[in-house]
Structure 1
Amino acid sequence: MKRIDKVYNQLLSNFQEFTEVELLHKQGSSAIEIAEQLDLERSNVSLELNKLVRMQKVIKIKMFPVRYAPLEIVETIFRQKWDTNKMEVEKLEQLSNGGKEEALSANPFELMIGATGSLKKSISQAKAAVLYPPNGLHMLLLGPTGSGKSLFAKRIYQFAIYSERLKTGAPFITFNCADYYHNPQLLLSQLFGHKQGSFTGATESKVGLVEQANEGILFMDEIHRLPPEGQEMLFYLIDQGTYNRLGETDHKRTSKVLIICATTENPGSALLQTFLRRIPMTIHIPSLEERSLKEKIRLTTFLLEQEAKRINKKLSVHIDVLNALIHTEKFGNVGQLKSNVQLVCAHGFLNNLDSKHMVELTVRDLPDDIKRDWISNSKNMERSRKISEYVNLKTIISPAMESQEIKIEEDVSFNLYQLIEEKVDVLTKEGLSQEDINQYILTDIHLNVRSFFNQKNGQSSNLMKFVEDDVIQLTKELKHLAEKELNCKFDRRFIHFLSMHMESFLKRKKQVDVLNTKEIDEIRETYPKEYAVALLFKNRIEKWFNIIVPEIEVIYLTMVIQSIRTLEENKRVGIVVAAHGNSTATSMVEVATELLGSTPIIAIDVPLTVSPVEIVDRLIQGIKKVDEGEGVLMLVDMGSLAMLESKLEQKTGTKIKTISNVTTSMVLDTVRKVNYLDLNLYAIFDSVQKDFMEFIDKQQHVFGKKKALVSICTTGSGTAKQLEKILTIISRKVSQEPIKILTVSSIKLAANIREIQKEYEIVATAGTKNPKIDAPHVSLEVLIEGQGERILQQAITKETIRYDEEKTEGNIVVRELCEENLRKYLLFINPYLISEILLEWLNHVQDELEMELSNTVMIRIVMHTAFALERMIKNEPLAFPEDEEITPQLENIYQKTEKTLQAVEKKLKLTLTRDEKLFIATIFADEM
């Protein structure tokens, strides 16, 4: 990295998290400050800073000493463009127009996302602590990594100024105890200062952070890393208000400072118990997991707004993107979410370079690991349903929005074909079966219609901006036709939605046909009235535009009419699940509602000791609870309960249909149809019964066939042989059932697969080519990157594998590839032993560095470290380049890497040189 880039990055880093008040107080960084941070000569840093000023990337503030502020940060904080003709100013207030007073005119806590929700109690505690006489109470913030403790501490500081408990411009000093964890003397010097000559290298006295924070706030992050000596001095300061610099003997110095500590430690730990005795106000900062869905959406849209400002373009965010970002298994914390948002926006920006004003963010723009998490999650459809209660199918985010008030603009365009085509393309590439793809499509169509109809009635003048006048006129006629045939009334939104759909159809040059014959037949049979109306629509459209309307378009029209009609009625069939036992029915209903969301369903458990009269009473009460006027479907386990159908109809006056031999899969299928297909009672009864019988037939047909995983490569050997070994280990890891691993060539793949299917049930395929069968496929890239192993495990077990479970059990692909490559090149070290040792070490070092490595990086580090250990045996260590600068960040990573490597060195009785460890630390640094 060039020196000018290092200087600029350091300047950005200095102000990345600053507020407007803090930036106006600090007025930028001086050349000497950056020189000390980067361990460079001040004159060289000054030279580079002035170059950056001329490049219009940095603002020069002409005070003493001269200070510099990055233009990008200044524009973001003040929310306005800087006049680049004025890159040298007297003060930053020239842009802020008195922003200091304006920033403090509102309670800073009220602007926080979650102020009236998950953070309400925390804010109340913080206010009480700041206002407590005479000087406030010291505070301890507890919460997981990335929960927002640092941000909350800054809001406490701003509230203290707002409430006039601190003067405007009072210092807010941040200190991370972990930065100096391995050097207690340096930590104490930073915190309390030191006296000249107090230790080797102390050539002059130094002011500590406690002294700098006088009349302000000292925020100490990761307080659990403070060494015992530091704890003792800090407690003395808290108790007595006095302290001494390192090397001084008397506690003569005083500092009126409010201390805020933060930690991720369990408050019950012995270390924190000592702090809790002296810091009375303990404030819990909730994790993202504890936050409500509404808050997560606001937080995500807020971060998207920041990116919109960076690229100075509007963002059009599809609901699937929000769903994936909020519910990805790597959601973790705000920092991870921010990183994910930036990745999505970067992908979207690259894919929309030709667009001057708008960046479209769709599933295609999701990072591969997030995309696979989203696609493979069984709760996806229910989550989309819940999110759609807060946002539309597309959320338009403008760069000019106010940060704390996310406005969602309506997007009136709706293209059913684009929706289907894009979703099918993504899901097909991910190896989903046709049945799963169809279910996603049906759900999306319904969600899109519901979102459109939840918007306010538009005006015809607005509609004409997007739709030709003759299309609108035809749609009005079709509306009257539908109302007459279906004996119901539709409002003007029917014209808006159907006009958009018609416009998309007329502009499209090819049809999207993703529904198979079975699905098409089911739609015809399920919605006979709507299908009949769609046929009438077809005739009118053909005459009006003199075109031919294909049958698949009639099916789409049927689905659209049904979705619109359902939204008008908004009534569903009720479900009663009744089974003998103390909790049999309850368990099945809990699984269904957890996976597919709320629906009118109730569980009736029937213990064997209950009398027939009581059973009937329970069923009557259950039927009344779930009946919305569309009838009730009873799913029961025995014929004795099924025989009560007529009696229950008489006593409740409700239409009832009953299906015996209930199973969890049957309950899931019924809830799915009630939630997403909007069938009437008799249609659901016929559909569930028919599907259940087909399922039994299919199971009987498959019974006797062995299961198989198929490994595919170009030649049928080489890579596929390695794949075969990996697939064998994966299958044995998750299943006791014998699964055959078969290796085939991609040449004449279709014929080979057909032959295999005669004898085997193919659970999944993996390799260079997708055979496009009704089974998941994992490409080599996906397998190596880490997600493929989970997809295969889910295909084998038919269960969702949690990400954290996968991680704790170890990565089979990484281990196999490391062993295979090390076996070829290592001469003195056992490749299998070293792979196991280094992978275990990687788990520790990732925790220590608080980072997560991809499979490719893990393989790279294991290979490099193994070769480094081999070089030590041969006494041929590498030398780290003398001209390569060792930054404070790299030194910090080196310290943590060295600490974790001690166990490896002890096991192997080898010691790596500092230079070899620096090379390893550099790899970690590159990934941060």
Structure 2
Amino acid sequence: MKRIDKVYQGLVTKWQAATKEEVLAKQGSAAKELAAELGLTRANTSLELNKLVRQAQVVKIKTFPVRYLPMIVIEQHFGLKQLDYYEVASLTALTKKPVKPTAKPEQAIKEAASEQVNQADPLESMIGYRGSLHNAVSQAKAALMYPPHGLHMMLLGQTGVGKTYFANKIYAYAKFAQILKEDAPFVSFNCADYYNNPQLLMATLFGHAKGAYTGADQEKAGLVEQANGGILLLDEVHRLPPEGQEMLFYFIDNGVFNRLGESQKKRHAQVLIICATTENPDSAMLATFLRRIPMSITIPALDERPITERIELAHFLFQTETKRIKRALSVKRSVFEIILNEDNYGNVGQLKSQIQLTCAQAFLNSMGEKTTISVTDNDLPEKLRQSWLAVSRAERKQSDLSRYLKSQILIEVGQPSLDKLDNEENIYSTIETKVHKLRAEGINEKEIHQYIMTDLHLHIKNFFKQEINEENFSKFVDPAAIKLAEKLKLIAEEEMDLRFDASFIHYFSLHLDAFFKRGSKNDLLMSAEIENIKREHGLEYQVAKLFQTEILKETGTAIPDIEVIYLTMLLTSIESMSATKKIGLLVVAHGNSTATSMVNVATELLGKGNIDALDMPLTVSPSTIYEQMKTKVGELNQGKGVLLLVDMGSLGMFTQKLATETGIPVRAVQNVTTSIILEALRKVNYIDMDLNSLANQLRRDFIKNFAVQEKSTGKKRAIVSICMTGSGTALKLKKLIEGIIRKTTTENIEVKTVSALKMSESIPPLAKEYELIATVGTKEPSVAVPFISLEDLIASNGEARLEAIIRQQTPPAKEKQSQSNVVVSQMCEDILNEHLVYLNPRLVNQMLQNWLEDLSRRLKLELSNSQQIACIVHTAFALERASHHQTSLNYDETPSPELLELLPVVKQTLDHAVSSLKLTLPQDEYYFIAETVIDNQR
């Protein structure tokens, strides 16, 4: 007899003959009592009992100690054949409020969930609350109980251990224990979002008064006021700047605060603060702030938790997947062994991702069947399986879980959980369910369309968070669907003038495969929604129509019009995801393992990223290394280019050749060190930068590491910046020139500033020390080098001329358009930094530059620097008004034919460029933006 059967039989034998009064009096058996009677350990008995609870064979009564009772005894004495939840605070709850079999499932679940929230200790519902989380739970309860209003807490732990989940459980427990009122608020705030803007941080936390700053047309309560009487969670608190920490500890000490712009009125709030961080607080935060957070609670990493808890967590996560796919899973024990003994990840969040990907592949293998899904080793991600194959026999023996698990674990469809589940069903289920539900609720057509698009975008983004191995991919998707997706990709790239990565193949082949297996369903979207999609995504819709023709030609299957709309939506979603792509980092260094060692250190400290290493043994020829670099560059490119981090100049010389032969933007940084790799990986992972900016920032941050290239004359090259008076203007001009240099060359060309009043005295000594290649500024000097006036630099073609001088050749006609304009970029960013409050100036600036480039290409416009600046700044202010629902401008004129002709193109290109901001501009704002473009064109 298996142990689980032995435990179940022992529990049934003990209680089947008991009277109802005995059952109510004793409430079942504790794990320790049953273990002694059966001759088993308490831990093993508890493990099996909890499995039986999840299998709905046993009820868990959460007294102290926890007790268990067979479901057949519940049925015998209370007449209940089925429960919505198999964990209750006491058996009396079942007698007072049984779940009626005739009740609607949704209502029964809602009532049972409400009762469970009121009766069950939320902190003790977590896996490991009596084990690895025992100290954390005890500390949290002690902090909440501490008079008069509890102690503020600091949650410590690696990314993905469940700090936010734990904070939510603390909040639930505070209501359960009646420390907080049932309607007490829980407010979460990510400190990283505002770490570089103290004024906006203060307005967000404490609110602002009317007129506190430009655009503050009404007063607004901050998060502290919103959390009054409840809990404020400060996530990533180590990113809180010193000013922000000082604001908070003043509030913690006094319980009073002012809104931004208020000087007299004192406001009061009672808030319990929970901080969460992955860093060592002592090194990342002010000591004065830490003294106000007396309770530090460490959440253990997955590998620090006992194997029984890890098994239970994995079992729970598998059961969570059964709720999504609505089918039972039969999981091989070896799947648990491989997943739980993988050392490339250490936290619950990553464990969840691995299990989701495994279940997704198993589900796809069994599409069309309605039986239990079998999960085997072949369904595991390729990296996990390869890692397991490399493990020695002795290590595998140590990883054996046979004493905990049967060879095949049947996981039935789980009962609804109190924890909210992500909706990760396939695209058709998502859309169909949403449409039918919203129709039944009487939601209007426009809102239904918005809901569908939002769900679809989220679905696709969640899908591509998972890694899909290329070899494995073809095993669970029909190869014909993959080939067809490849043809559609070529059509889309040709028509849209874009490059898509492998994600296009992955998602479209999955979608097509599901469509052919499932067949067509009609009438899912209403005609008004279809017209909306056609109007708002015209280019994508036309491409989808070409897909329709190609699919018919290749497969003989007629694609209905509704499927064309789906393809349009998919294409739009995948297109919008390109903004999330990362720059590739390739570390190349001489030696047998130099590059690999440095990359390993960086990934251990900062986590995985789009980075790879290439070691260059001294016995390998440069041509061989070049071919290897070429392959790696192609693998790393996600559409934003690749930065080479190399140890010697000879490797950096491959940059231009790589860019030419691969068609991929490539830059190089030389004299690489571990510090440079760490900074590069940090910037790529957490900051949205373009390739040139990343390379230039690394050079600026680590300037002493880089060798200065000199000309054959033995002199460094320099450019002279000439300004009449005023250090501010001189510094601005120097900054513009330095930006153009960084964009144009890797050479360290210096910029020397001189006064226009002292040119004759200052320039000759510079000419002796440097090779002067150009002068730029307000007055032309009497030297035999090219001069570019300040007016030409800012308003005309001066930047292109300076680039040509630096390169010592005339740049190709298209080269200037393919690169960002330094003058426009810097001047717009300075203006937007000063005036934008709610939007990120750098992000908006880049978006609008891309928009204007797209618009100019479509309209065949040639706009000068000053004209570009006018268009970008005006449009940025319109977006700022829309972001905070400020009153928009009113367009009172009768639109001219020229304006009406231009308007659709302006609207389409602008909406596409700023789609990630999720803003809607009023029609009048589009009129004014189009007028601005027309005026500057004239």
Task: Normalising by structure 1, report the TM-score.
Answer: 0.40
